[in-house]
Amino acid sequence: MARIAVEQSLQSVKEYLQNKGYEVVDLNQNTQADAIVITGQDRNILGMQDITTKSPVINAKGLTPEEVYQQLSNRLS
């Protein structure tokens, strides 16, 4: 199953994704992941303004854990 990096403040999302079988890791500067889930509160991801990634980034602001899961499923398939 895919490895998902999740911002630390999104505990309910982390738990939901783990229950769905994803490998969930904390988002940090050294994280390599198939997708990234952020809160959307800070556009300066990981303290770097020029970060680039080929992995899909899901903005979880206003979404339920199930909605985050659905977006991940769609983008990773």
**What are the extents of the domains in the chain?**
3-76
Q: pLDDT tens digits, residue range 1-56?
A: 899 999 999 999 999 999 999 999 998 867 789 999 999 765 555 554 445 567 89
Dihedral of alpha carbons 59, 60, 63, 64, sign: positive
Contact between 4 and 31 (Cβ < 8 Å): no
Dihedral of alpha carbons 22, 46, 38, 74, sign: negative
Distance of CA 8 to the CA centre of its chain: 10
pTM: 0.82
